[in-house]
Amino acid sequence: MTRRGGGSERAQALVPVVFVVMILTAFAVTLAGVARREMRAGAAELRSARMHMIARGALDYAAVRLQTVTGGGLTAAQLSLPPDTDANGWSQLGDGWYKIDIIDTGSRVNVNTASADALVRVPGLSASPATVAAIVDWRDADDTPTNLDGAVGAELEYYNSLNPPYAAKNAPFDTIEELLLVRGVTANLLFGARDASGGLIPLAQNPIQVASRQTGDPINTADAGVPLAEMLTTYSRERNVASDGTKRVNLKTADAEALVQLGLNPNLAQRLIQARGQNGANLNSIADLLNISGFTRELMSEIGDKLTVTDGEYRDGMINLNTAPEGVLAAIPGVDQATYSAVIEARNSGTVFTGLNDLFRLTALNRQQLQTLVDNVSVKSSVYLVRLKVRARGSSEVRAYQALVEVEPEPEPEEGAAAGSSQTQASIYQFHRVGRNPGWLSWTTGVFATGGSIGL
C-alpha cells in the first residue's frame, strides 16, 4: 500500500513537469514561427532595399548620361544599350537586373500648359469636352467653372458635394495620377480598360468614343489605342536657344543691327521693325513673320531656329517634332492629318530635325500649315521621363520605378578649363515606386522612347 501511494505521488509530481514541457514546447514552436516570419520579413526588406538601390543607381547614371549627351538640353538623347544586355532588355547591376526606358516628355501633351482646344483633340478626351473643362478648372486659379462650347467644368462647389469632400487644387498638376481626382477621369480612362485575361482593350473598343469634337469623325492616328496616361505629361520644356547654344533673337525687341547680324538685309530688317509696331505689339509669334513680305520659306529655313518672341529661358509645353507620335501631333490646335502625316513621313524617311529652320524645308507643308506648327513645336527637350523595372537575385518579383530628369544648361567653360570638365548635374524629381495595376502594366514601353532603351 505504501509503495502504491509513493508511486502515485511520483506520478502526480510528473504532471506539472509535463505541463511545463508542453508550455515550453508551444513557446518554442511559437518562437520559431515568429523567427521564421521575422527572417522572411527581414529578407523581404533587404530585397526591397536592394531593388530600390538598383533602381536609384541606374537612374543616377541615366541622369549623368542625359546631361552629357544632350549638352545640357541642346541635342537629342542618343543612348545605347550596354553590351551585356540580354535579349529581353535586362542588364545586370550588382546582384540584380534592371530594364530602363527614357522617354522625352516633349513627345507628350503637357496637361498643365495645353489649351482646352488641344486637350479635347487627345484620343480618350475628344468625346468628353466636359472632362476637358474639368481638367482646366482643376489647374486654373479661379473658382469659376469653364464653359467649353456648352460643356461645363467643375470647381469648388462640385468637389465639396462629394463624400468625402475635397477642394479643387486650382494649381498645376504635379503628377498624371492626380488626374484621378478630376471629375470624369476614371482609372479605365487614364490607364486603359482590361479584358478578363488582363490585356489592354483598345480605346476604339471602350465605351469611351475616340472622335474629334470639331468634326465628329474618328481621329485617325496609330495611337488611338494607347492609354491616356501614355499621351500626357505634367512637365515638358525646351531651352529657348538655337541648336548651337546661342541665344535666340527676340523679334519683338531686336534693333536693326541685331536683325542684320541675324541674316536679314537692311531693308527687310526695317520692314520688320515697322510691321511689329510699338513694343512688338503686332508680332506675337514666329508664325506672324510669314505674313510680312520678304520672309520666305528659303529665308526661314536658314534663320528659323534663331528666332523667338520672348526673352524667357525656356519654352514650356512644346511638342518635339522628332519624338512625338501621331496622336500627340494631332492634338496641336489647327493641325490636320496632312500636316502631322508630313512630319511622320519625313521622320520615317530618315529626317532628323536639328533646328526649327528644318521645319521650313518640308516641301509637303504649305505656308498655313507651317504657321500652325512653328509656335507649338521644338526639336530638343530638357525633361525626360525615366522608367525602370528591377529584379533581385533569388526572386521572381518585378518592381517598377519612375522619375523625371531635367538636364541643366552647361555654363560657359572657364578659360583654360579642360573640355568636358563641367560638373553640372541633371535634376531628378518625383522618384517613386509604381504599382502594377493600375500602373506599369499600362506602360507602352518603347512606343515613345527617345533613343530606345538605355542601360549601364
Which domains are seen in the chain, by residue range?
Answer: 241-312 (1.10.150.320)
Please choose, from the candidates 128, 106, 132, the residue with its C-alpha nearest in 3D space to the C-alpha of residue 119: 132
Strands (E), 258-382: 307-308, 314-316, 319-320, 377-378
Q: Where are the alpha helices (DSSP H) in 115-265?
A: 116-119, 129-139, 156-160, 187-191, 256-262
Q: Identify the pLDDT of residue 206.
A: 45
Please choose, from the candidates 374, 355, 378, 377, the residue with its C-alpha nearest in 3D space to the C-alpha of residue 290: 374
For the chain, report the end-to-end CA distance as a whole number of angstroms. Answer: 88
> Count of residues for the chain?
456
SS3 category, 215: coil
Count of other CB atoms within 10 angstroms of residue 181 = 14
Residue given cell 521645319 in the structure block: 359
Predicted confidence band at 224 (pLDDT cuts at 50, 70, 90)?
Answer: low
Predicted confidence band at 163 (pLDDT cuts at 50, 70, 90)?
Answer: very high
Predicted confidence band at 62 (pLDDT cuts at 50, 70, 90)?
Answer: very high
> Does residue 324 or residue 9 have the better pLDDT?
324
Please choose, from the candidates 221, 258, 385, 359, the residue with its C-alpha nearest in 3D space to the C-alpha of residue 302: 359
The CA distance from 320 to 379, in Å, is 5
Please choose, from the candidates 9, 104, 98, 24, the residue with its C-alpha nearest in 3D space to the C-alpha of residue 66: 104
Residue given cell 482646366 in the structure block: 136
pLDDT at 221 over 60: no
Q: Identify the pLDDT of residue 218.
A: 36
CA atoms within 13 Å, Cβ hemisphere of 214? 14
Q: Identify the pLDDT of residue 207.
A: 40
Predicted confidence band at 415 (pLDDT cuts at 50, 70, 90)?
Answer: low
pLDDT at 2 over 80: no
Angle separating helix axes 337-348 and 367-374, nearest 10 degrees: 80
Contact between 373 and 339 under an 8 Å Cβ cutoff? The reply is yes
Predicted confidence band at 412 (pLDDT cuts at 50, 70, 90)?
Answer: confident
* Percent over 70 (pLDDT), the chain: 84
The structure's pTM equals: 0.85
Burial status of residue 156 (CB atoms within 10 A of its CB: 0-12, 13-18, 19 or more): middle
Looking at residues 80-101, what average pLDDT do you find?
A: 87
H/E element, 268 = helix 266-276
CA atoms within 13 Å, Cβ hemisphere of 420? 5
